[in-house]
Structures are given as structure tokens and as C-alpha cells.
Structure 1
Amino acid sequence: MGRKFYSLADEEFNRLFTEFRFTAYRLESLQRYDVSYEQDEFARFLSGEARGEFPGIAEWIDGTVAKAAAAGKAMSRVHVVELPLSDYVRFECAWAYEHTVEAGEDVRILPVPKQEWPSELPHYDYWLFDSTQLVAMYYEEDGSFSAAEIIDDPQRIVEANYWRDAAQASAIPYREFARKYPDELRVSG
């Protein structure tokens, strides 16, 4: 296997998001991610506050997604989400996806009933850059980031391309999802 990264702030890891030439694709499988730069905002979301400044996502939107779009690069993701949605996925939709889509990211959602994972997709996260560079994303059970690993195995890279195509074909664009499932996007409680 290839290089491992143990921090989302690793400079070499972050260069992957600026040095790709054409496409960056993400498959998201978790129903909750626990990353430090979102904790305060997630708590505000749960308490019903309006979205205000959100430095962690603002940097992603302005520093990564918008710059890639301006350079003619395509960034996309599919998030497989279980229905009913977790509070975290509601948060991610309203406070992140709504804004990354506006900045140029093609966000798609693949809704599935709880415990009915699509058989053609893996149950783990990864990034695929230019269809040739695979980075597996590893998380703990609580959704906290553990590591990212560059995968050099050609067979796994081919599989990741297949999974990307299958996920994108089955998923619906974020805004269509939001129109189709408005009750799912409401905060519980």
C-alpha cells in the first residue's frame, strides 16, 4: 500500500485537492462524521440556530471547491444515506452541501432504507482523483477520522471507478433530493 495520512490537515494530503488535473470524486458511507472543525456548528444546528460563519466549511468551499470549478475541474461526491436521516446528515445537507453545490460541487445523494446497503457499493469512504489515484478514508465507529491511505493496487483502483459509476448512476442530485425529501431534512426533536 501507499502513503498514510493521520491528519486531515496534512499538507501532502491537502495537495491532492489542488493538484488533481480533471476530477475529484468522493464516496461517503457514514451517517455521522465527527470532525473537530464541525463540532460547534453541529451543536448550533441541533439547537435550532441559524447557520452563521462556518470557518471549516468556508475554507473548503472557497479554497477548494470554488477554485477547482473556476479552473474547469470537476468535484463530485455521492453520499449513501440511510432513511430516516441522522441528525448529522441533516446538518451536512443544510449547512454544507447546500453551499458546496452552489460553489460548483456535484453532490448526489443515494437514499436507502436503514440496514439495506446497496450491494454494488462498498461500505467505506474514499477519494478518487483523475480516475487513477485512490485514497481510502478510514474512520472509527464514532465517525472520527483515523487515517487516509493512498492505494496503489490497480485492481482496487478499477473497483473504485466501477463503484463511482454505479453510485452516480443510482444517486440523485442534492437539490432534487432536498425537494423530494423535505421532511427528512427537518431537525428532529
Structure 2
Amino acid sequence: MTVAEIVSGDAFSDLFRNFEHTAWRLEVRTAYGVANEDDPYRQFLAGEEPDTEWFGPWLRLMEEQTGLGKRVERVRLIDDPPSDYLRFELWGTPFNQSAGEDIRYLDRRKAQALSLPGYDFWLFDSTLLARLQFGENDRFLGVTLDRDPAEVVRHCYWRDAAWHHAESFADYMERTTAAA
């Protein structure tokens, strides 16, 4: 039986400070309404170089955690052509990588063929599932935490399938740039 709790704010941030070895995320949305990204996103859409100050706290946290030997990995579903927000994420991926994250890309059609779920989630240490919750305008509300072994194992299966079929950022960029 699943017993879930919803957390946000500092309690959510603590998950990234306290995991032991692996934090892994599946990103399925074509847009995210993140308040501190609003101005940089507008700058990006206007063809300007976005200010990266907003990114600093996350990048420092990732550098700290990956510097301890922990892994932070993601698979992002992507469309052809990518949405404006996903183009913004592609712009930001080198910053994530420089902080130690490994972000890979998976064509949305392939994800559907793999029967991956239609929602975002984090897995921490293959023991804790954090399913992301969003409200109006794609605004992040928090996560539902679930430690039920059957649910965690199911999501670990999806993680493994997504990771196996995804391509590295470098390979994705090389393939799509060559095709353009």
C-alpha cells in the first residue's frame, strides 16, 4: 500500500543534500513555470544572453554533491522540433554538466513506445520516489514522496529503460545540428 506525503520548499531541497549515492530524474513536460527562471527565459526568447545568477544556488549544490562522488542524472523527453522551453533547457545543459550532472535526451515518440509514465519524477538512492506536482501555468507545487517498494521498483524499471535508450547531450546536439 502506498503512503504518500507532499513536500516542498526546504524539505524538497533537503532531498538533494541528503541522498547517499544517486539522484535520478525523468523530465516529460514541454514547459516548466519556475519563478526564478521567468526573466532569464524571457531574455532567451528575446535572443539575448540570459543572466545566469538564478542558476547559481542549484549549480553550487550539484557541484557539492557530485564532488562527494554522488551521481545526479536526468533524462529529458524532447520533441522535434523542441518547444521554446526545451530549447532554453538545451542552452542551460552545459551549465548543469559543468556542475557534474549527466543529462540525456530521449525522443518523446520513443518514450511513448517504451510506455514511460507521463509525469516527472525523481528517484533518490533507488529507495525514494518523488513525483513532481504542478499547478496552473506549469508552476511547481511540490513532490509526493513514496517509499512503497513496489512503486519504487516500477519507477526504477522506467529509469533503466529511459537511460538505456537516451542519448548524451553531445550526441543529441551533434545529430540535430548535422540534420539542420
TM-score, reference length from structure 1 = 0.87
- Per the alignment, residue 101 of structure 2 pairs with 105
Counterpart of 2:143, as a letter, is: A
Structure 2 residue 102 is matched with structure 1 residue 88? no
Partner secondary structure for residue 82 of structure 2: coil
Shift of 1:88: 0.5
Q: Distance in 2 between matches of 1:118 and 1:167?
A: 11
Contact 1:78-1:107 within 8 A present in 2 as well: yes
- 1:107-186 aligned within 5 A: 107-113=103-109, 117-140=112-135, 142-182=137-177
Q: Deviations over 1:67-92 (max 9, x none)?
A: 11110000000011122100100001
Shift of 1:112: 3.1
Q: Distance in 2 between matches of 1:148 and 1:56?
A: 21
TM-score, reference length from structure 2 = 0.91
Shift of 1:113: 4.7
> CA RMSD of the aligned region, Å?
2.0
- Per the alignment, residue 21 of structure 1 pairs with 20
Contact 2:120-2:131 within 8 A present in 1 as well: yes
Counterpart of 1:71, as a letter, is: L
For structure 2, the residue ranges without an aligned partner over 5 or more in a row are none
Contact 2:41-2:50 within 8 A present in 1 as well: no
Counting matched residue pairs gives 178
Contact 1:83-1:113 within 8 A present in 2 as well: no
Q: For structure 1, which segment, 158-167 or 105-114, has the greater mean C-alpha deviation from structure 2 after superposition? A: 105-114
Shift of 1:137: 0.4
Q: 1:167 to 1:14 in 2, by over 3 A?
A: same
- Per the alignment, residue 59 of structure 2 pairs with 61
Q: Percentage identity across aligned positions?
A: 34
Q: Deviations over 1:136-163 (max 9, x none)?
A: 1012363211331101322110011001
Contact 1:120-1:166 within 8 A present in 2 as well: no
Q: Distance in 2 between matches of 1:37 and 1:133?
A: 27
Shift of 1:122: 0.4
Partner secondary structure for residue 177 of structure 1: helix
